[in-house]
Amino acid sequence: MDARLNLFADATAGKVFKHLMTAGKVLQDSSLPAATQELVSLRVSQINGCAACVDMHTKEAAAADETPVRLNLVAAWREATVFTEAERAALELAEAGTRVADAAGGVGDTVWAAAAQHYDDEQLTALVLLVSFMNLANRINVITRQPSGDYQAGRAH
């Protein structure tokens, strides 16, 4: 598959991506656990069908010693026993925040309360921003049909 746009060669995209990468670094350096960040990024990307981000976050998580079993079960996290209660709450918030168009009420109070049981305000802020950031990145990649498969861990981080 060929990309519709070469976002790395476009001056406007370059200016925007510079700021997005800075924002991504701030999130990466937040107190939200790194494993949770990769699991959430992967799940949001799976929901949105963003192959480029699924490729990236699977490889980044594996490079950070995430197990193949957990990576393979992210798509079915509700039935999987390999995630902590905190990770499950983060994944549920990520799904609700990604599927806002599918849910008339948006992110429900029960989903929010579950996340708030496991994360402090700083971590919740990082989680909300990460879900939003990933949805933005997914949409850019899906709209422009960015190819996947050749990402190397560490390239974007």
Asked if 143 and 49 touch (Cβ cutoff 8 Å), the reply is no
Q: Render pLDDT for 13-70 as a digit per residue (tens, 0 to 9).
A: 888 988 998 999 999 999 999 999 999 999 999 999 999 999 999 999 999 899 999 9
Cα 25 from chain centroid (whole Å)? 13
Indicate if the pLDDT at residue 157 is higher than 70: no
For residue 12, the number of C-alpha atoms closer than 13 Å in the C-beta half-sphere is 1
Tokens matching residue 106: 């948006």
Q: Which residues contact 142 (CB under 8 A, 6 or more apart)?
A: 48, 49, 50
User: Dihedral of the CA atoms 73, 77, 80, 82 (nearest 10)?
Assistant: 80
* Separation between Cα atoms, residue 57 and residue 151, nearest integer Å: 9
Tokens matching residue 49: 């069908």
152 vs 111, higher pLDDT:
111
Q: Render pLDDT for 95-130 as a digit per residue (tens, 0 to 9).
A: 999 998 887 678 999 999 999 999 999 999 999 999
